[in-house]
Amino acid sequence: MSGVATDRSWRTTAARALCSDYFVLWLCVVYVAAVAPFTPGFASLDNATNILATLLPLFVVALGQTLVLIAGGIDLSITSIIGLCSITGAMVMNDETGWLAHSPLAVPAAIAVMLALGGLVGAFNGVAITRFRMPPFIVTLAAMMAFSGLAVWLTQSKAINQLPAAFNALGGRTAIALGIACAAGVGVHVMLSRSLFGRWLYAIGHNARTAHVSGVPVAGVVISAYVCSGVLAALAAILYTGQTETGSPVLGQRILLDVIGATVIGGTSLFGGKGKVLWTLFGVLFLKLVDNSLNLLNLSIFTLTIVKGAVILLAALLDSLRTRLAGSHA
Amino acid sequence: MNATPSALLLTALRHASLVLFVTIIAVFGALAPKFLTADNAINVLIQSTPTGIVAVGMTFVLLTAGVDLSVGAIMFLSAAIAGKMLAAGQPLPLALGAMLATGLGFGAINAFFITRLRIAPFIVTLALLFVGRGLALTITQTRAMNLPDRFLQLGSARVAGVPLPLVVLGAVLLVAHVVLMRTPFGRQIYALGNHPANARKAGIRTQRILATVYLISGLCAALGGILSLAQLGAVSPKFGEAYEFKAIAAAVLGGTSLFGGRGAVFPGTLLGAVLIQSIESGLVILNADPYLYPVITAAVIFLAVLTDSTRHTLLARLNRRRIRQELPT
Amino acid sequence: MSTAAAVEFDGIGQSFSGVRVLRGVSFTVGASRTLGLVGENGAGKSTLMNILGGNLRSDTGRMILRGQPYAPAHPTDATRAGIGLIHQELNLFSNLTIAENIFLTSFPRARALPWIDQRTLHARTAALLRDVGLELAPDTLVDRLSAGERQLVEIARALSLDARLIIFDEPTTSLSARETGTLFALLRRLQSQGIALIYISHILDHVRQLCHDLVVLRDGAVVAQGPIETFSTPAIVSAMVGRNLTQLYPTRRGAPATEPALEVRGVSQPHIVCDIRFTLRRGEVLGLSGLMGAGRSELARILFGLDPCSRGEILVSGRPLAGANTRRRIERGLAFLTEDRRHEGLCLEASIADNLALASIRSHARTPLKLIDRTGWQRAISTIREAVRLTAKAEDTQPAQTLSGGNQQKVVLGKWLLASPSVLILDEPTRGVDVGAKFELYQLIMDLADRGSGILVISSEIEELIGVCDRILVMSQGEIRGEFSRPEFSSERLLAAALPRESPA
Amino acid sequence: VGLTACQKSEAPAANGGSGSNAPSPNGKPLIIGVAFETLQTEYWVASFEAIKADLKQRGYPMLEAVSDGDANRQLEQVKNFITRKVDGIILVPKDAKTCLPIIKAANAASIPIVLFNRPADKSAAKSVAIVADNFALTQETVAYLMSEAKKTGRKHKAAILIGDLSDINAIGRRDGFDAALKGNEGVVEVVARIPTEWNQEKAQAGLVNALQANPDISFIFTSSDFLFPSIVSALKSAGKYHKFGTPGHVILGGFDGDATAYQMLQDGYLDATGVQDVYFEARQSIQAILNLRAGKPVPELIRDPGFVVHQGNLQQKAAQMWGAQIAKK
Ligand SMILES: Nc1ncnc2c1ncn2[C@@H]1O[C@H](COP(=O)(O)OP(=O)(O)OP(=O)(O)O)[C@@H](O)[C@H]1O
Ligand SMILES: Nc1ncnc2c1ncn2[C@@H]1O[C@H](COP(=O)(O)OP(=O)(O)OP(=O)(O)O)[C@@H](O)[C@H]1O
Ligand SMILES: [Mg+2]
Ligand SMILES: [Mg+2]
């Protein structure tokens, strides 16, 4: 009898762990525990700092993607925003040819220009999607092509360096970058879970028609979501540019699938209405842990890609298992 | 109520994408007369065959509200396998068969994870994108492989005077169109994309349909790979890269919805694929500044979709059902 | 012909995430008989039918179909066993044509070829549509049909299966008197062909007219069963709700005031409505009657700003709306309960609380950052839950789609009540709501009127309008064709006014 | 050929560990981290293999990483090397600027770092770069092609296949081409500049279209030899693939010197290609690390002079040409 009881309680605990927001975090912990013994240097403080430093900008971009995905959209233009903002900021403030070279205003002005530009691209996406009822995938795909093309053309393929040290510190010094990313994360979290905007965003993602009939300003909210995504991508551009100390038109060009992948692994739905900041954080963490450990394992590039695919699949498998378990045991 | 201006407008609207397509071609033609030759038209069509065929498979998947990100990897992997086989002296038909089998195999793996283990298609196919490319890189050791001339001859072969790639594209389109529009399976795909839970309730074997759709996509990807190789004559480590985006873009440009249940391979997906290729071809013929390529391509795609969505809005407005017979005023 | 019972339920039990929804349900549907299944919202009727139709597998119990054990794993098993199920929530695909919807799993094939025989498809569809009294082309997209028309298509679909047992889960919720008449004639024909039927409805008169036997479910258990003659209507009601219900409609306490809540002056939209004028006074319950397709819903959508309007003026509390959008109109005190609750009324995957709060959440966002005052919000939710008597089993965090149809309707109504509107437009508000709950809904509507709001009720149930309204307008062909005040109310006169006139030569 | 023998004899040493018999300046084998930006062309694979073979011969274990074109990921990877406490780093950076923080990180950990094939911009960060000059070598190659063109005594229409516009090497080669063009406008007129994004399919389609617009193109330069299969395929389908010295020969030039180019030179189709000396660069990189560790002075820039291989000097240069070595294997 008691065996049955403990079995039942064990099951409820397991079910609760599976259902919680922290599932992907547990997955990360298990992964670290499983991989650390075989991976030299994986479980070291240095490495933790490395992971943190590379995780932050990705997390910031993924925050914006989360907002857009919740509204039932998708933003493929983030990579081009990162590149475009990176070179525009660098054009404003670099020490050689910058418009504001050596001025004390250079750094703040550059940051303002970058964020504004990100917001502008986001607004363009949002307006095209809501006012002209165009599919988000194509709008943001076209924006990606156009703006990254524009960035390469503006620089004639050349990267720009000699950026002010104060600016480089924003992304280069992990502590500062951590502060910025945390602020962004907390901001978006409060926005999603506590604010009117958040409620509206989820409602639109669930059913835009119902939202409209219930008096939600659908177009305005969706445009804002894309603007936020653009601004957050610009913020990530600040971090990335600071890390590499260079304004480059192709910065972040390869992270698109990583961003969407991490967000979706975290649990955000591609069909809208579902997503949380914590989920995204854990999704990004998981992806970065996998990347980093595979890298330290000194696998060849071939094996590395294969193993990465397998790990993603495994994580998804666990996720689908837990959804089924949760369904039958809650 | 027969020949009112609104009836005229309706016809124009129905064929808006075609109108736009013709306009774009005309603009290129006016700028560069060479663009409008029959030879060039055939060229552009041949060049769009790989994208077109992969996009046909993708359209099946998108109609069920899924997505297949692994098509590019399938192209690369099957090409790598074929390359190795040909290098080892195997006959060409066997290599081609192996490519198609690889496509089907990957499609089957996708299908297994999506239907049996209920994992989101985006994640499954993303994972298989990595696995497939990794395997292919292992096989090729990231080296480029030149294929024997027999392969290139496939690309320039003709059937009754028509280039072989066009014959294949035509056949694939015909079959796909008939399947989607005229068979129970096709109509059930649309129902499934419209509302998966209701489709099950209505007695449709949803899992079976989903699985088939990924098999079709895998097969089309391999077939697209064959046609692409037949033009290139070599496999490089970048083979098939970003094809998933190209195929999705072609399908969506042709009016297919990512949310399922809406779209068609003919003329939709075909127009999408040809449009993308026409822009590229037109720009080369114009000898445009290389930096302008992405910007112009993006602008044209944007314009095309803008026209399409405006058309939809207007059509919906004009088609609203009437309650009253209004007397002409 | 076998004399075995059409179907026998034996101890069926079912629970959803720990909540028991069906407990040991056992009863028998006799061969060639029609069984009425009634019960409150959430009693488990649809769940039981989903088990019979192969959509769900019951936790316990078994079924016996014409003497054979029967355990469907998939809806196709039910179809093969000769069971047709017409779902409560319409189960059609808006991107397909009527014909394709009807024959989705049984397309006629061209001889030995894999493709569909279009000609046969059209011919058979046309015949079925004639049977159900729907004059539409078989290749019309379902997207363009109104709710009532969709319901008829769904019925045609069940007929197409040549089933020997057909389940109708509230088939008349979107039908007006005329279509209901056609449907009943059809059902009688089925009965005479020896087909067994299960008929679920909240309209007890209909059940009484059609059925031979009756089963009453309460809280997932059978509380009464027997031949229909052995039950009086009050007895059925008290078995359903577990208490005596003396009245079907609450008595009106207040009376309409004189100042107008909503004035509609000459609203017209080509091909839709023509020169609509009426005044809805504060505290008044105004009914809008008419046949299906009369344009009542269209008028409501125009008033609410969802559809365009080319001429005319709309005033709320004396002030013109002047082209305000829907959101502005809500701010000005307008509210609209739509007839399409799945697509426009609810976010099905969102929680009950989020759905309830959607229209009024803005008023809880206080700080400059528009953060939600969560305690105030929660208080409002729990008050409104009480007010609309939402089933106690449902938790606030549960997705709305897990609620029974009637309870979903209560959530939508609750959403609008929370916005405390000065003008409330209700389009088929009691669709799918049980008698007990209906009474409560009417009470809520009247209370709102007594507090000074103007209420416009669109309903296809003439009895209902007569029961709750102070005044009734009748629409036909997009025009208002009659106005009746309380003493003049009678179904005959209302129906007569609703019939379309011959078009002018 | 000699490599396989070495691999066998060194097999136990590859595990590293204290028992290794590999000699090194202070007795222990050095761990070298090798971080490449990409392995997607023959050239990089050959370089990678050359370094690997050289290290193996010396008995040094090697850590490898490929960042697939992502500057940030490369930074992560090098940081991982530092975490693993490597003794030296060989880096193929994404470009001249994004590598600066990487170099700084290595400097901070006092690990010698050598940039392979791509130099860094001037800065306080200390590194050694082994480079072939894309600009100069391309200029030299194209100048040779020009002299060949002059010999024909007529004016040529030319097409250039440009690499990825965001790749620094591609830009260097494009600029080298343009520089060689200067003053020779009377001999060669560029009628098509085709952006390939380092993609074979784009190259093939682009060239086919260019030949469509200008069927009389008789001079083609590609920014990398790995695009030759595409060029050959396009020329063949236009009926313009003819040997050197026969009428209708299209003057062909490339860069890299891979196996395909070697084969084409041998068969007499290719006029010239600019070759980077991979073996020299690999040897120099490792030597530089040893020297730095030993405290010997090392110049900041070690030049790989490279050389142009053409029909006239093929026999004498083949031994130094990495593509020839691969082709012979
Ligand atoms: N998937 C589900 N998950 C959780 N609860 C569910 C689910 N489906 C139904 N329920 C619950 O089961 C109970 C019975 O629902 P059912 O739809 O059978 O009621 P009903 O008798 O058909 O009511 P109505 O007259 O309103 O249609 C309800 O309390 C409902 O909330
Ligand atoms: N979304 C729609 N698209 C096209 N036509 C529609 C749509 N909704 C309704 N209609 C048509 O408009 C006409 C009037 O609509 P509707 O039937 O809703 O009016 P009603 O008077 O409110 O009747 P009821 O609500 O009883 O069905 C009908 O003929 C219906 O078919
Ligand atoms: Mg029900
Ligand atoms: Mg209506």
Tell me the per-residue pLDDT of B204-213, one tens digit each, with 9 for 90 and over.
Answer: 999 999 999 9
Query: How many other CB atoms are there within 10 angstroms of residue C473's CB atom?
Result: 25
Interchain pair D95, A248: CB under 8 A: yes
List the single residue in A with minimal CA-CA distance to D197. Answer: A149
As a whole number, mean pLDDT of residues C78-102 equals 90
The domains of chain B, with CATH numbers, are 3-323 (1.10.3470)
- In the structure encoding, which two tokens stand for residue B86, read together? 């040909």
The conformation of residue A26, written as its DSSP 8-state character, comes to H
pLDDT-based confidence at B3, cuts 50/70/90? very low
- The answer to whether residue A268 sits within a structural domain is no
Domain around A168: 41-254
For CA atoms B179, B181, B183, B189, give the dihedral sign: positive
d(CA A319, CA C501): 62
- The answer to whether residue C269 sits within a structural domain is no
Residues 6+ apart with CB under 8 A from C243: none
Helix (H, G, I), strand (E, B) or coil at D115: strand
Considering the domain architecture, whether residues C237 and C295 belong to the same structural domain is answered as no
Q: Which of C188, C223, C241 is the last residue of a domain?
A: C241
Nearest CA to B225 out of B80, B64, B14, B10 is that of: B80
Q: Which ranges constitute the DSSP H helices of chain B?
A: 5-14, 16-31, 38-47, 49-63, 71-87, 92-111, 121-140, 149-156, 164-182, 184-194, 196-201, 206-232, 243-253, 270-285, 293-318
Nearest CA to C456 out of C433, C478, C426, C430 is that of: C426
User: Are C77 and C55 in contact, with CB atoms under 8 Å apart?
Assistant: no
d(CA A90, CA A84): 10
Average pLDDT over chain B, rounded to whole? 88
The conformation of residue D223, written as its DSSP 8-state character, comes to S
d(CA A118, CA A141): 15
As a whole number, mean pLDDT of residues A310-314 equals 83
Q: Which of C241, C269, C291 is the last residue of a domain?
A: C241
What's the distance, CA C106 to chain centroid?
28
Nearest CA to D180 out of D221, D227, D218 is that of: D221
Confirm or reject: Cβ of C307 under 6 Å from ligand 2: no
- What percent of chain C has a predicted confidence (pLDDT) above 70? 99
Give the residue from A190, A191, A202, A210 with the most C CB atoms within 10 Å of its CB, the best one to mutate.
A210
- In the structure encoding, which two tokens stand for residue D43, read together? 């050239």
List the single residue in A with minimal CA-CA distance to B257. Answer: A135
Considering the domain architecture, whether residues C233 and C286 belong to the same structural domain is answered as no
Residues 6+ apart with CB under 8 A from C24: C11, C12, C13, C60, C61, C221
- What percent of chain A has a predicted confidence (pLDDT) above 70? 92
At position D44, the amino acid (one-letter code) is W
- The answer to whether residue A288 sits within a structural domain is no
Interchain pair D226, B144: CB under 8 A: yes
d(CA D154, CA D152): 6
Q: What are the pLDDT digits (tens) for A231-272?
A: 999 999 999 998 888 888 888 777 888 898 889 888 888 888
Report the largest interatomic distance among the alpha carbons of chain D, rounded to a whole angstrom: 68
Is B90 exposed, middle or buried (CB count within 10 Å of its CB: 0-12, 13-18, 19+)? middle
Considering the domain architecture, whether residues C93 and C161 belong to the same structural domain is answered as yes
- The answer to whether residue A47 sits within a structural domain is yes
- Beta pairing partners, A160: A247
- The answer to whether residue A271 sits within a structural domain is no
User: Are C220 and C22 in contact, with CB atoms under 8 Å apart?
Assistant: yes
Which residues of B fall within a CB distance of 8 Å from D162? 290
Residue C505 has pLDDT above 50, yes or no: no
From the CA of C86, how far away is ligand 2's center (Å)?
21
**Residue B125 touches partner D, C-beta closer than 8 Å:** no
The domain that holds C425 is classified in CATH as 3.40.50.300
Average pLDDT over chain C, rounded to whole? 88
Per-residue pLDDT, C502: 63
Which conformational region is residue C9 in: left (phi greater than 0), alpha (psi within -120 to 50 degrees), or beta? beta
Listing DSSP states for C288-343 in one string gives: EEE-TTSSHHHHHHHHTTSS---EEEEEETTEE-TT--HHHHHHTTEEEE-S-III
d(CA A148, CA A87): 11
- In the structure encoding, which two tokens stand for residue D185, read together? 């406008």
Confirm or reject: Cβ of C287 under 6 Å from ligand 2: no
Considering the domain architecture, whether residues C128 and C231 belong to the same structural domain is answered as yes
Q: Which of C215, C241, C267 is the last residue of a domain?
A: C241
Question: Which residue has tokens 């079976």?
Answer: B208
Interfacial C residues in 369-388 facing A (CB < 8 Å): 369-372, 374
Per-residue pLDDT, D79: 87
d(CA A195, CA A224): 14
Per-residue pLDDT, A13: 67
Residue C233 has pLDDT above 80, yes or no: yes
- The answer to whether residue A25 sits within a structural domain is no
ipTM of the complex: 0.85
User: Are B114 and B121 in contact, with CB atoms under 8 Å apart?
Assistant: yes
Per-residue pLDDT, C1: 44
pLDDT-based confidence at A101, cuts 50/70/90? confident
Q: Which ranges constitute the DSSP H helices of A217-300?
A: 218-244, 256-266, 277-296
Strands D301-304, D128-132: parallel, antiparallel or unpaired by DSSP?
A: parallel
Considering the domain architecture, whether residues C126 and C38 belong to the same structural domain is answered as yes
How close does chain B come to A320, measured CA to CA in Å?
Answer: 6
Based on DSSP, count helices (H) and strands (E) in chain B, helices before strands.
15, 4
Per-residue pLDDT, D122: 73
**Which positions of chain D have pLDDT values less than 70?**
1-27
d(CA C457, CA C74): 41
Considering the domain architecture, whether residues C163 and C303 belong to the same structural domain is answered as no
Interchain pair B144, D208: CB under 8 A: no
Q: Residue A269 to residues A183, A204, B193, C380: CA-CA distances in angstroms? A: 24, 13, 17, 30
- In the structure encoding, which two tokens stand for residue C113, read together? 């070829």
Per-residue pLDDT, A35: 87
Considering the domain architecture, whether residues C196 and C326 belong to the same structural domain is answered as no
First vs last Cα of chain B: how many Å apart? 13
**C-beta contacts of A15-18 below 8 A and 24+ residues apart:** A15/A325, A15/A326, A15/A329, A15/A330, A18/A322, A18/A325, A18/A326
Angle, CA of B196, B200 and B204, to the nearest 5°: 110
At position A319, the amino acid (one-letter code) is D
Considering the domain architecture, whether residues C216 and C289 belong to the same structural domain is answered as no
Per-residue pLDDT, C125: 95
Considering the domain architecture, whether residues C292 and C228 belong to the same structural domain is answered as no
What's the distance, CA A290 to chain centroid?
16
Residue A330 has pLDDT above 50, yes or no: no
Nearest CA to D72 out of D41, D97, D47 is that of: D97
- The answer to whether residue C229 sits within a structural domain is yes
- The answer to whether residue A54 sits within a structural domain is yes
List the single residue in A with minimal CA-CA distance to C59. Answer: A328
- The answer to whether residue C128 sits within a structural domain is yes
Per-residue pLDDT, C300: 94
Residues 6+ apart with CB under 8 A from A135: A129, B252, B257, B258, B305, B309
From the CA of C150, how far away is ligand 2's center (Å)?
10
As a whole number, mean pLDDT of residues B212-231 equals 95
d(CA A247, CA A167): 11
Cis ω before B267 (30° cut-off from 0) = yes
As a whole number, mean pLDDT of residues A130-141 equals 89
Residue C256 has pLDDT above 50, yes or no: yes
Considering the domain architecture, whether residues C187 and C299 belong to the same structural domain is answered as no
Domain around C185: 5-241
Q: What are the pLDDT digits (tens) for C176-217?
A: 777 888 889 889 999 999 999 999 998 888 999 999 999 999
How many domains are contained in chain C? Answer: 2
The conformation of residue B147, written as its DSSP 8-state character, comes to P
How many domains are contained in chain A? Answer: 1
- The answer to whether residue A259 sits within a structural domain is no
- In the structure encoding, which two tokens stand for residue D180, read together? 């060689």
Residues 6+ apart with CB under 8 A from B170: none
First vs last Cα of chain D: how many Å apart? 8
d(CA C347, CA C345): 7
Q: Residue B221 to residues B122, B147, B227, B235, C152: CA-CA distances in angstroms? A: 17, 19, 10, 15, 43
pLDDT-based confidence at B319, cuts 50/70/90? confident
- The answer to whether residue C255 sits within a structural domain is no
Which residues of A fall within a CB distance of 8 Å from B113? 313, 317
Chain C residues with CB under 8 Å of a chain B CB are 53, 55, 74-76, 78-79, 87, 91-96, 100, 104-105, 107, 109, 114-116, 118, 144, 270-274, 293-295, 298, 477-479, 503
Considering the domain architecture, whether residues C122 and C41 belong to the same structural domain is answered as yes
From the CA of C46, how far away is ligand 1's center (Å)?
7
User: Are C372 and C365 in contact, with CB atoms under 8 Å apart?
Assistant: yes
Per-residue pLDDT, D10: 32
Residues 6+ apart with CB under 8 A from B263: B59, B62, B63, B251, B254, B255, B256, B257, B269
Considering the domain architecture, whether residues C236 and C287 belong to the same structural domain is answered as no
- What percent of chain C has a predicted confidence (pLDDT) above 90? 45
Give the residue from D42, D200, D230 with the most B CB atoms within 10 Å of its CB, the best one to mutate.
D200
**Residue B303 touches partner A, C-beta closer than 8 Å:** no
Strands C260-269, C273-281: parallel, antiparallel or unpaired by DSSP?
A: antiparallel
Q: Residue B314 to residues B12, B14, B162: CA-CA distances in angstroms? A: 11, 10, 40
At position A73, the amino acid (one-letter code) is G
Q: Which chains are within 8 Å of C by 3+ CB pairs?
A: A, B
